[in-house]
Amino acid sequence: MTRLRLPALALALCLPAAGAFATEAALEKLLPTPPEIRKILDHSCVMCHGEVIDGQQEIRDDLDLSTDDAIRKTMPEVGRLKQYILEDTMPKKPRLGRRLRNDPKLQERLTALKADFDKNGEKAVLLAWLKDVVATTGEKKKDH
């Protein structure tokens, strides 16, 4: 009986690591970010995910999109990024930091960024970049 339990336990311990490796592999295929993707991230996403505003870095949900290295360190699931893009989840006012929610100038800038994102078809460009990524769905969806 013990002989069967040890291999099963070893397999159970390896499965989470295999999932993390698959996530890292999927992310590494996307990096380095192509120039057109970096331009979109810098223009439309970094304001909430990595920009330094008034001496403090703005990072929502511990995700920093300001550099490829920051993406590697902070993006736990690339499929979640695709999910948010598909569902037009970002930017979502209730999840913004206090400075972004309460500063009229930053709100104005955020509104302009969202309008530009839609007008310039940046969603389609990001989805083409993420074409081989499977969008994540499930329990964490309610968190955002």
Specify the pLDDT at position 3.
52
106/110 Cα distance (integer angstroms): 6
Tokens of 118: 């839609």
Instruction: Give the number of domains in the chain.
Output: 1
Span 81-100, mean pLDDT? Answer: 77
Q: Is the pTM of this model over 0.85?
A: no
pLDDT over 90 (residue 66): yes
Main-chain phi, psi angles of 59, to 5 degrees: -135, 110
Residues of the domain holding 114: 2-143
Question: Residues 17-40: pLDDT tens digits?
Answer: 433 444 578 899 999 999 999 999
Q: Which residues of 27-40 are buried (b: 16+ CB within 10 A; e: fewer)?
A: beebeebeeebbeb
